[in-house]
Amino acid sequence: MLDSVQISQPLVEMDNIVKTFGGIHAVEGVSTDLYSGEVVGVLGHNGAGKSCLMRILSGAMRANSGEIRVNGQTVDMKSPQDAREFGIETIYQTLALANHLDAPANLFMGRELKTRFGNLDDKRMLSEATEAIRQLNPNFKNLRDPVARLSGGQRQVIAIARAIYFQAKILIMDEPTAALGPSETAMVADLIVRLKNEGIGIYLISHDMHDVFELCDRVMVMNKGRNVGAFRIEDVNKDDVLSLIIKGTLPDSWEPRGGAE
Amino acid sequence: MSSKAPEQKRKFRFLPEGTSLHKLSAVATLLVLIFAFSFTSPAFFTVNNGLTVLLQTSVIGLLAIGMTMVIITGGIDLSVGSILALAGVIAGLTIKIGLPVAPAMALGVFTGAACGFVNGMVIAKMRITPFVATLGMMLIARGIALQLTGAAPISRLGEAFGVLGNGALFRIVEMQDNGFPKVIFPGIPYPAILLLVMAVLGWYLLQKRQFGRHIFSVGSNEEAARLSGVNVDRTKIWAYTTSGALAGIAGMVLMSRLVTVQPNEGVMYELDAIAASVIGGASLMGGVGSISGSMIGAFIIGVLRNGLNMAGTSAFIQMIIIGIVVIGAVYIDQIRNKN
Ligand SMILES: Nc1ncnc2c1ncn2[C@@H]1O[C@H](COP(=O)(O)OP(=O)(O)OP(=O)(O)O)[C@@H](O)[C@H]1O
Ligand SMILES: [Mg+2]
């Protein structure tokens, strides 16, 4: 018990977040938290508000109301830079890549490496990017091609490499494996486990039940902008989660499945 | 790591491969033009006319450097022709009230930069599209220039005012026995040197500095740039400010060459600059473009205008031809984007 008191300070707390677009209620009073060294799955049907909630945490979008705390401190995320200062890195669902630039230019976009004279250090950016990307995909060859010419999977690898290169404390992964083949997906799964063991807190948005049950410690299900349930992964099975995603409620027969304890 | 070597050999290749092909075809076009005009008028392919082309091109070229940066951000600057005139008027008026030439010209360039800065602010902060914002500035700057001068030219600005536009480096003149000077070497015109210096600076900014990289990022994917921590607004504001400052410099060169400030100079020069950039491979969709390409484009426009003049083509026909060239260049740009 003593242990759990010491680690009881969450990395991130989002409290009563609301986001509307005109009449659309994208996020309606959602609260969630994330601890160091755990993976929290964010699930829900298309348009449930998962990306909006995560974009609010990564500073890409401003909430109408609600509070965000990082390490217990209330913060105001005005821009993605603000979020980065708190160690929050994001793999966006849209990948956020500049199509005309090559992989190193994208990896270091906004945080370009410079030489002593303040010039761009393209050589170092290339070698660093090569190393970061080859960790995820050893077959990645065309690093100097504009990313427009790369495959969906290669583009996703660049987006992932960018998020982990800068040593995040909090990582948001919005459907990071949507375009990946089986071996790359497995590589990302390994990566998630490794990062988690390093004490990084991860929000993982995924539609892949297998991945979710494999990787997540907890899940949170969103339905029409609301948080309809947050559980430790041992307490639910796939049917429970699917019911939450689709209907927004647990099956009538549900009782905590009770893993350990 | 064995496959690393060939990758590093292919340097500076974050632009599409088509770029070098495009540049090559632009150079070929330029050579064809020079060849064709040499046939149609014997006076075309001479040292003196070469210098004239160089002078004429330097103004378009200076404008095209700034225009290229703006176009790469995905914008457009329709105000450079007017800014050029206003910058000239400010320099001319301040000389008239007693300011020496150099600070007066600096003030002119500053005026250009200030107009560009306003463009950038209107576009980035008020979220007005570049087309509309710079169209507005086109009228505003021209209006101020005409209002300040009562639409009359400012002349008798002194010999020093004409040096920038008419002087040359390494010019060798020998006095002959009959008392007439003989030009042994016409020298390298100052405007040409200025263009070269600015082009190299522009290339350095675009390819070697963070500012340039951000210009490409913003033009390629503005949202991605913002999410990646690029200060999109600041990048745009500086791009338009640079374009305005270069328009100011171009204004100094042009007015100095005439040794007169003409408030109605530079009308539609923006179209020449846009054409130069697009012919040189810049994409109006943003994210693509280069200074070297735009310089080739500027020379194509310069040679085309000069050659048509030498061949005795009327100004009206010239307008038609340049118009067709601009549409053709944008059409090629579109085809390129589809592939
Ligand atoms: N920029 C925006 N402007 C207007 N409406 C938006 C915007 N972004 C999201 N929405 C709306 O907010 C709701 C939630 O969208 P969100 O992208 O968060 O869904 P999601 O759960 O990530 O879905 P998916 O699984 O398809 O990625 C949707 O109804 C969407 O149409
Ligand atoms: Mg989404």
| pLDDT value of residue B8 | 41
Least confident of A1-10, A11-20, B179-188, B237-246: A1-10
By C-alpha distance, which of B294, B289, B320, B327 is closest to B305? B320
Of B210, B212, B228, the CB nearest to A114: B210
Q: Say what angle helices B101-124 and B232-258 make with each other, to 10 degrees.
A: 150
- Is the pLDDT confidence value at B11 over 70? no
pLDDT-wise least confident of B42-56, B189-203, B216-230: B42-56
Among A24, A91, A94, A204, which is best to mutate for testing ligand 1, by the most ligand atoms less than 8 A from CB? Answer: A24
* Mean pLDDT for all residues in chain A: 90
Nearest partner of B168 among B83, B50, B85, judged by Cα: B50
Helix-strand-coil split of chain A, %, nearest 5: 35, 25, 40
Is residue A200 a contact partner of residue A170, using CB atoms and an 8 Å limit?
yes
Pocket of ligand 1 (CB under 6 A): A 21, 24, 26, 44, 46-52, 93
**∠ at Cα B105 (B99, B110), nearest 5°?**
110
Q: Which residues of B touch A (CB under 8 A)?
A: 3-4, 7-8, 10, 13-16, 207-210, 212-214, 216-217, 219-221, 223-230, 287-288
Cβ <8 Å between B223 and A94: yes
Confidence of residue B12 (pLDDT cuts 50, 70, 90): very low
What is the structure's pLDDT at B1?
Answer: 37
- State how many domains chain B has: 1
Classify burial at A143, counting beta carbons within 10 Å of its beta carbon; exposed 0-12, middle 13-18, buried 19 or more.
Answer: buried
Atom of ligand 1 nearest to the CA of A44: 21
Q: Of B41, B190, B21, which Cα lies nearest the Cα of B105?
A: B190
Is B185 inside any structural domain?
yes
Q: Which residues contact B191 (CB under 8 A, 6 or more apart)?
A: B54, B55, B58, B59, B164, B165, B253, B257
Instruction: For residue A49, give the ligand 1 atom closest to its CA.
Output: 18
Whether B19 shows a pLDDT value over 70: the answer reads no
Chain A residues closer than 8 Å to B7 by CB = 126, 130, 141, 143-144
Residues in A touching B8 (Cβ below 8 Å): 123, 126
The ligand whose atoms approach the alpha carbon of A45 most closely is 1
CA–CA min distance A107, chain B (Å): 9
Q: Closest residue (by CA) to atom 2 of ligand 1?
A: A21
Residue B158 resides in a domain: yes
Q: Considering only CA atoms, which residue is closest to atom 16 of ligand 1? A: A49
Do residue A98 and residue B221 have CB atoms under 8 angstroms apart? yes
Q: Is A169 exposed, middle or buried (0-12, 13-18, 19+ CB in 10 A)?
A: middle
Tokens of B49: 């006319």
The yes-or-no verdict on residue B95 having pLDDT over 80 is yes
Question: What would the pLDDT profile of B271-330 be if each residue is shown by its tens digit?
Answer: 999 999 998 889 889 999 999 999 999 999 999 989 998 888 898 998 898 889 878 877
- When pLDDT is cut at 50, 70 and 90, the band that residue B10 belongs to is very low
| Distance, CA of B294 to chain centre | 8
Choose the mutation target among A81, A101, A127, A156 for the interface with B, i.e. most B CBs under 10 Å. A101
Cα A133 to ligand 2 centre (Å): 24
Residue numbers of chain A with a pLDDT score lower than 50: 1-5, 260-261
Comparing CB atoms, the residue among A100, A114, A118 nearest residue B216 is A100
The ipTM assigned to this model is 0.89
Beta strands in chain B (DSSP E): 168-169, 172-175, 181-185, 188-189
* Residue B303 in domain: no
Name the percent of chain B lying above pLDDT 90. Answer: 63
- β-strand A39-44 against A218-223: which pairing, if any? parallel
Q: Cβ of B176: how many Cβ atoms within 10 Å?
A: 9
Chain B residues touching residue A112 (CB < 8 angstroms): 210, 213
Q: How far apart are CA A61 and CA A180, in angstroms?
A: 27
Q: What is the least distance, in Å, from the CA of B219 to any CA of chain A?
A: 8
Q: In terms of CA atoms, which chain B residue is nearest residue A121?
A: B208
Give the rounded percent of residues in chain B with a pLDDT score beyond 70: 93
Confidence check: pLDDT of B177 > 90: no
Helix-helix angle B80-96:B269-279, to 10 degrees: 130
Looking at residue A7, what is its pLDDT? 56
Contacts of residue A63, Cβ cutoff 8 Å, sequence gap at least 6: A17, A18, A19, A27, A56
Dist CA A17 CA A42 (whole Å): 15
Domain that holds residue B150: 59-295
Beta carbons of B76 and B137 less than 8 angstroms apart? no
- Indicate the residue of A109, A114, A146 with minimum beta-carbon distance to B228: A109
Smallest CA–CA separation between B239 and chain A, in Å?
17
Task: Tell me whether residue B301 is in a domain.
Answer: no
Number of domains, chain A: 1
Dihedral angle of Cα A60, A66, A72, A74, to the nearest 10 degrees: 70
Q: Which residue of B has its CA nearest to A162?
A: B228
The partner residue sitting opposite B226, judged by closest CB among A80, A105, A120, is: A80
DSSP character string of B8-38: HHS-S--S-THHHHHHHHHHHHHHHHHHHHH
Whether B331 is in a domain gets the answer: no
Contact B190, B163 (CB under 8 A): yes
Residue-by-residue DSSP string for A57-110: HTTSS--SEEEEEETTEEE---SHHHHHHTTEEEE-TT----TTSBHHHHHTTT
Report CA(A222)–ligand 1 centroid distance (Å).
12
Q: What is the pLDDT of residues A40-59, one digit of tens each?
A: 999 999 999 999 999 999 99
Indicate which CATH number applies to the domain containing A217. Answer: 3.40.50.300
pLDDT in tens, B25-75: 788 889 998 998 888 888 888 888 888 898 889 999 999 999 999 999 999
Residue B18 pLDDT class (50, 70, 90 cuts): low
Test A96 with B8 for CB contact under 8 angstroms. Answer: no
